[in-house]
Structures are given as C-alpha cells and as structure tokens.
Amino acid sequence: MGALPERPGVPIIHSTPVYEANTLFTSAGEQPPARHGSAVFVDKGVLDMIRTTRTRRFTASVAGVSVLALGLAACSDDSSTDGDNTADGQVTLTVSTFNNFGYTDELLKEYMDANPNVKIEHNVAAKSDDARLNLTTKMAAGGTGLADIEAIEIDWMPELEIVKDSFADLDGVEGIDGRWLDWKEAQGRTTDGKLIGYGTDIGPQAICYRADLFEAAGLDSSREAVAEMIGGEGTTWDSYFAAGEEFAKNSEVPWFDSAGAIWQGMIAQIAEPYENASDGTPKDLAANTEIKTAYDAVLAASEDLSAGLEQWSGDWDAAFQNDGFATMLCPAWMTGAIEERAGGVEGWDVADVFPGGGANWGGSFLTVPAAGENVEEAKKLAAWLTSPETQVKAFGNSGAFPSQVEVLSSPEILAATNEFMSGAPVGEIFSNRAQSIDPATLPYKGANYFKINSAVSDALKRVDVEKTDDAAASWDKAVNAFNELGIM
C-alpha cells in the first residue's frame, strides 16, 4: 500500500504456514507497505477492539456476535493449498494474504456461518515479498497452486498487467458498483478496463509527530496548532520545511527521519514522474526537470532537518526510543509501525495536515486467479471481504484504512481513535486525508517506474544516509544508472 526492505516485527494475527523465500522477488523502487496491528478503537457499538498484549492480539465483539476462537488449520488438510469441491456440495476456498489485512479467524467465521457450504483456509505470508514471489512463480507455471483469492499490492500492478488474462474479471458481482473511491477502483483495473482487483485498504497520509518534543521546544503541541504551524489548509512542502526550521531554533532533534521518506510523499503527488502516461515511454532522467527540482528541494531541506535514517533500518527502529526525530510522513498504516517501535514512549500524535494537500502510500487488492477451481464462489467471498461492513471490522482489527466510499463518512470510522497516538481521532483524520487526495496527481507507474525510482532513491540515500556524495555528484550517478537501464 521507496525501495524499502520488508518491515520487521509485523504481527501475524492468524496464519497457516505457507512459504518462505530465500531470494526475495523485488523490483527496484517503492516497496509496498506492510500491515500492522494498531490500537484502533471503533465506537458506536459496532466493533470494540481491546489490545490484550504487546503482540497485538485482539478480542472483538461485533453487534452481539460472540467472539469464538477458530483454528482454520485444524479444520483443513495441511497439505492442501488449492480450493476443492466435494460430492456433498461443500467448497473449500483458500485465501492468501500477507502481514495483517485484519481478516481474523472470527471475521472469516462470520462468512462460513452465513454460508455453511463454504470452508475457508487463510494463508498469511509473513512478508509481502514472500507473497509476491509465490504469486509470480506460480503464475509463471500456469497458476497451479495459487489460492482461490490472492492479495496483491498496488505496486505489483505493472507486472500483473502483462499476465492480466490469468485473473478473473470481477465486474458484474452484485453490490460492487460505486463501492470504492474512483481512483482506487481505477487502480484495480488493467489498461483495457478489466477489473482484476477488489480494493481493500488505502494509505492516506497525515503528519505524525512527537507532542512532547514540540513542548520541549516551547511550541504549542495540540493537533490543531501543529497543523497550522505546518501550513494549515494551504500546506506546501516549503511550509513544512519552514516549520522544521522554526522548530530547530529551540531543539537539537531533527525535524524528519530521512530524505527518502520525504521523497516518498513528494513522488506520490507527481502525476507522470518517470514515464509518459499516454504510451508508457520513459522520460530521460537527465532532462526531467520536475524530478530534479524535487530532488534538489528534498536534499536542501535535509541538510539541517533530516535525521539521516533509512526507513525500516535498525538505526531507524532504535530512533523511536531515542528522540530520533520530531515528525514523519504518516499513512494510516504507519501508526502501527510507530507503536511497534515506540512502545513505552509517550507523546506520539497525528495532525490532520499534509504538504501539497493529500497523497496516498500503499493499498492492496484481492484478486481471483482465473485458473482456480472455484472462481465464482471466490468472487463472492472477495466481494464480501471488501464490503464496507467487513472493511470497518478489518480496520478495527489491523488499522488498515478502508477504500470504500461509504465507509469514509460512516459513524464507525469517524469515531475511531488510537490510544497510543494520544487518543487521536484517526478515523476522522485519515478520512479527511483520503478525501483530500487529488486523483489527477496520483503517479502513473509503468513498467519502468521502479527501476528509475530506485536510481533516484539511491542517489538520495548516498547524500542523506551514507554521506558519501554531494547532491550534484549523486545525481550524476543516478543519471548514469538510468542510462545503463537501456530503456531509452
């Protein structure tokens, strides 16, 4: 939902062991976000989440439905990974996801109770890289061994476009018309309009910050004051950096974690960063003034404001316990990543603001491989799993922010708070952030996006993290790396 390594420490709420990859199938550039459990509380009597341990196992009570433990592995053939039908009409549907989509055993049991002929086996890969390798490897073998429902990240779509006929067309299922934000549904379609993915979550971005560090710098730490300091409704990247300079007058703590993290937000607002959307042809990086301008701006600000910490690295993890930085770009799922690393540290909060208005980082879909034995039943289950009602519950289970239009204004979401983030009204904040995203600025990601973005991301890292090059020299290396791709 950068060329980021898999996030460590992601809790698995429930899983049937599936596969481990010794060699990760990764494309250069942006790595989709992992899902994290987070202390999200959904009020209005619909879902009451109670975090019981630091491993974030949850107990749920849903509109009078008792919580029952369900061992999916215990009621299935451990050796089976394919759906199957039996003579008595029973259907076994396999669902493969990764990290934490919020699809708990209790949630899946609701579907099985309503559909007694269906048994669900849920396989959860510990890392999205493993899931991606499993999917692409089995698709290359004709689809044998794939689950009836396979979860994918948005950033896999350029590759899956090549094999779009391997996925069932998901249009026409009752109840899906108008379900998702227009731009989210568009992301689930191939270039010829075929719907191959039902949207699960999105990653609308806000600003997460350490209120205690603002107070130590003599600044108002309230959410409203921080949002206004950063720029309010007219926030720009310049105003965000200017706020950092103001903060730095009275604090030695860096303003943000890394240039690479800021780049992640900036590139998410450039409609055609590296390729022409009309035909997919790459732009010459040496002549790409829009990218060069953004690159220079990030590194100019980073000189005084960046902590120089590569996201998802051990040093970045440790910084959460050591006053490492005051603010960070924060998609909805990032609140879980913060809580995992900042346990015991009080003061984290969320401001309803983002430079440039809005941006999305990450998001996933459910697909149905066309070679499956139970395609029609799988479509029905995928539609149920991505329904507004189910995604509200998944949000409560994992913090994965729903992509369904109806949910964004629902009382259940708008009342949701996050205890660790100082009780921030995360439902309302991220709903506002989602609706602030301008679809026209969502980046086009063609076949070469990740390769080119990797070259630029590596350039930023050399300057900000490794400190081996100045900005100009590192840019020259990025241009050379682009030329070596041989795509022009």
State how far the Cα of 488 lies from the Cα of 234, in Å rounded to an integer: 38
Residues in the chain: 488
Q: Which one, of 403, 410, 397, lies nearest residue 199 by Cα?
A: 403
Domain 203-361+440-484, CATH:
3.40.190.10
Dihedrals phi, psi of 189, to nearest 5 degrees: -105, 150
Q: Of 119, 135, 115, nearest to 127 (Cα)?
A: 135
| pLDDT of the residue at 158 | 86
Residue 41 DSSP class: E
| Cα-Cα-Cα-Cα dihedral sign, residues 203, 22, 104, 164 | positive
In the three-class reduction of DSSP (H, G, I as helix; E, B as strand; rest coil), residue 153 is classed as strand
Give the CA dihedral 235, 237, 238, 241, nearest 10 degrees: 100
DSSP, collapsed to helix, strand or coil, labels residue 405 as helix
CA-CA distance, 425 to 419, in Å (whole number)? 9
Give the chain's radius of gyration (CA, Å): 22
Q: Is 406 exposed, middle or buried (0-12, 13-18, 19+ CB in 10 A)?
A: middle
- pLDDT one digit per residue (tens) for the chain, 488 residues: 433 333 333 332 233 333 332 222 233 333 444 444 444 545 433 333 323 232 332 222 222 222 222 222 223 333 334 445 665 789 999 999 998 899 999 999 999 999 999 999 999 998 888 999 999 999 988 889 999 999 999 989 988 998 999 999 999 999 999 999 999 999 999 999 999 999 999 999 999 999 999 999 999 999 999 999 999 999 999 999 999 999 999 999 999 999 999 999 999 999 999 999 999 999 999 999 999 999 999 999 999 999 999 999 999 999 999 999 999 999 999 998 999 999 999 999 999 999 999 999 999 999 999 999 999 999 999 999 999 999 999 998 888 899 999 999 999 999 999 999 999 999 999 999 999 999 999 999 998 998 999 999 999 999 999 999 999 999 999 999 999 999 99
pTM of the model: 0.80
Q: What is the pLDDT of residue 129?
A: 85
Fold: same for 40-201+364-399 and 203-361+440-484: yes
CB 31 within 8 A of CB 109: no
We find that the CATH architecture of domain 40-201+364-399 is: 3-Layer(aba) Sandwich (3.40)
Find all residues with CB under 8 Å of 461, minimum gap 6, and list them. 259, 260, 310
Spell out the domain ranges in the chain.
40-201+364-399, 203-361+440-484
User: Tell me, what's the pLDDT at 85?
Assistant: 63
CA 417 to chain CA centroid, nearest Å: 19
Question: Could you give the maximum distance between any two Cα atoms of the chain, in Å?
Answer: 74
Q: Position of tokens 């003579």?
A: 87
**Type of residue at 99:** N
Amino acid letter for position 13: I
40 membership: H or E segment, kind and range? strand 40-41
